[in-house]
Homo-oligomer: A and B are copies of this chain.
Amino acid sequence: MESLRVALASRSYPIHIGAGVLDRAELFTPHLRGSAAIVTNEVVAPLYLERVRAALRSTGARVVEVVVPDGEKAKGWETLNRVFDHLLQNRLGRDALIVALGGGVVGDLAGFAAATYQRGVDFIQIPTTLLAQVDSSVGGKTAINHPLGKNMIGAFHQPRAVVSDVETLDTLPDRELRAGLAEVIKHGVALDAPFVDWLETNMARLLARDREALIYAVRRSCELKAAIVAADEREASVRAHLNYGHTFGHAIEAATGFGPWLHGEAVATGMVIAAELSVRARLLKPADATRIRALVAKAGLPVRPPTLARDRWHELMSHDKKAAGGRTRFIVLEGLGRAKQMALEAALVDEAIDAAAQ
């Protein structure tokens, strides 16, 4: 097992990465003060719920469970209220520990429940998808969706620990594995050019689920993200760089009704558009945009955006949280591994979308 740390003073926490770690009760014990509530979904529950329940129970804790539907549609008020109903019916107090067992949707939903249940209780992330292991489980962003935009209602609430068991990736559908690779690629493209080189060399191993390659990709992604989060927890500055590809990605997800495109797939295409935008802003060499597009394609991810009217793109992006004072800011690249934020003209954005669509 490898462990690294997200450095946030009194809210610092460890990320444990390894094979079979979800059975290790000693990773949970330090965080249990009362009852534990496992929040998971109907796909993950048959696979891993019993093992996590057994690990928690072995510490003597009372354990209750909430199983929510699978998929992005579960990330809304209705499901959140079901979680609250269950916590209250089982009389969990302020000393409860919420355990998020699942992918990004479960982590965001359970994390937001933890952030707001009785004004905040502790929680632990046990991410079971690659996307959650490399991205959403780390950094304390929690949220639910609103019909007018993804993640519009949420909170910053750091977990007490992240326990990433790479064995759980064995049961992940290929399409979701690839969606997770989109965020891995993002970490390289936005923050670390040598990691892009490594990904170009090792993409076939990752797609073949070579365990050693996966552990390296998870660990390197977490290291890169943890450093950013430690420097800017609440996204006042550099943390925004982690949103590379996301303004366009969110627009694609919203336009298609949250579901047909997986989040990682939308981000993958968003990264291609953002690379084209960076070229048009005269910040990135065309050859680097080509490398990004090729790497996304190599991961089996979509490079072309859906066909949307220009107004619709701009309307959807104006709802994005990075919209400030009416002008949309974008994360662009001043070179591979060097993201920056800037406001850009709508015309350049239109050109970038057209270029990605070709």
Contacts and interface: CB of A to CB of B under 8 A. Distances in A.
Interface string A108-138: 0000100111111000000000000000000
A303 interface: no
A282 to B, nearest CB: 27
A88 B149 CA distance: 8
A319 B92 CA distance: 8
A156 interface: yes
Nearest to A149: B88
Interface in A78-128: 81, 84-85, 88-89, 91, 93-95, 112, 115-120
Contacts of A112: 116
A244 to B, nearest CB: 18
A36 to B, nearest CB: 13
A357 interface: no
A149 B120 CA distance: 15
Contacts of A89: 148
A119 B155 contact: yes
A319 B88 contact: yes
A354 to B, nearest CB: 25
Given A81-B77, A148-B89, A34 B324 contact: yes
B323 A152 contact: no
A341 interface: no
Nearest to A112: B116
Contact of A88 (B85, B146, B234): B146
A325 B95 contact: yes
Contacts of A115: 155
A265 to B, nearest CB: 24
A73 interface: no
A310 interface: no
Given A88-B146, A148-B88, A323 B119 contact: no
Contacts of A142: 119
A154 interface: yes
Contacts of A81: 77
B119 A141 contact: yes
B323 A93 contact: yes
Closest 5 CB pairs of A and B: A88-B148, A119-B154, A118-B321, A93-B324, A93-B323
